[in-house]
Homo-oligomer: A and B are copies of this chain.
Amino acid sequence: MPKHHRHHRGPHGHGRKRARRGAVGRSILTLLAEKPMNGYELMAELDERSGGRWQPSSGSIYPALKRLEQRGFISAATSEDDDKPRYELTDEGRQRLEAFAADGETTPPWEGDVARHGEIRGAMAELMGPARQIGRFGSADQITAATTAIKDTTSKLYQILADGPGEE
């Protein structure tokens, strides 16, 4: 239910709930400079490198790939074994990256305290397991107990958010 609780912050905190314009394209270019990948791999890589802070959806990645290809910055590598379509950087793409670098746009959008920020995601993933079990197979008593525990935690997290703001 709570979709709000939005934090507004200064220009350079880590507070983008949405990537800045062009961030997806720049990220894709940066990653493809390392090695050719497909859309799914790009999503996973971005997710991991940002420590889960940024998880671009397929609705961001695939249109972006299409745009980049149309502009000639990347190309779908038509490999012999056609089952794995991989994108790779073209010369124009490399130039584009250099242009960014020359422009001071050196910081990849996924920069930050990666290690710490991933922790919550991991913890949540672990919580999913038993929650799912109880939700699916649990008795009425178990459901009551579990729901209470989860709601308590929700309150606690809101408290944490309210207590110490994330701004530095």
Q: Is the CB of A120 within 8 A of B131?
A: yes
Chain A interface SS verdict (over half): helix
Residues of B within 8 A of A23 (CB): none
A161 at interface, CB cutoff 8 A: yes
Distance between Cα atoms of A150 and B134 in the complex (Å): 16
Interface residues of A in 1-58 (CB under 8 A from B): 1-5, 7-17, 40, 43-44, 47, 52-55, 57
Subset of 22 A-B contacts with CB under 8 Å: A2-B43, A3-B129, A5-B122, A5-B133, A9-B129, A9-B137, A10-B133, A14-B133, A14-B137, A117-B135, A117-B138, A120-B143, A121-B135, A124-B135, A127-B150, A129-B154, A134-B160, A134-B161, A139-B168, A142-B160, A142-B164, A142-B166
Question: Taking beta carbons and an 8 Å cutoff, which residues of A are in contact with B?
Answer: 1-5, 7-17, 40, 43-44, 47, 52-55, 57, 113, 116-117, 119-131, 133-143, 145-147, 149-154, 156-158, 160-161, 164-168
